[in-house]
Amino acid sequence: MQRTKPNDVLQIVINGASSGPSSISFYMFTPGGVYSAFQITYDPPDGTTVSPILLTVVDPDVNDYEITLNGLTPSREYAITAVTLSGTGYSQTKSDPYVVKYITGLHLELYI
C-alpha cells in the first residue's frame, strides 16, 4: 500500500545572530498533515554534525525546531535540505525537498 506523500517543510530560517564561522543555526517550521519524521542533510558534508540528521516527531503539536550544525568550514556555502517523512520501511514516502543556502561567517585572525 502506497502512503500519501507528506506535506513539504514550510520554511527554514537561518538565525544569523546564533550562527558563527563554523556553525549554522536555523529554525525549521513544520507542515500540517500527517508525518513521522524529518530528514535534514547539508552539503558539503564536512563538520562534526552527521549528515543526514533524522528528527523523529515525538510531539505533533511542535511547530518548529531549532537546529545547529557545528564544526563547519568558515567562508563556505552550505546547502541545507529538509524533507518530511511519513511511514517506515518500504512504505515510507518523502515530501519534496525544501532547500536553503547559507555561507558560514568569515574566519578572521587578528595579529597584535
Q: Where are the beta strands (DSSP E) in 1-112?
A: 11-14, 24-29, 37-43, 53-56, 64-69, 77-86, 93-94, 98-103
Residue 46 has what pLDDT?
67
CATH for 11-103 is 2.60.40.10
Residue 22 has what pLDDT?
86
DSSP H or E stretch at residue 78: strand 77-86
Residues contacting residue 64 through CB under 8 Å, at least 6 positions apart: 27, 28, 29, 30
Q: What pTM does this model have?
A: 0.83
Helix (H, G, I), strand (E, B) or coil at 13: strand
Per-residue pLDDT of the chain (112 residues; tens, 9 = 90+): 556 889 999 999 988 767 788 889 999 999 988 888 999 999 887 666 667 888 888 787 889 999 998 888 888 888 999 999 998 888 889 999 999 999 888 654 455 5
Task: State the Cα–Cα distance between residues 54 and 89, nearest whole angstrom.
Answer: 14
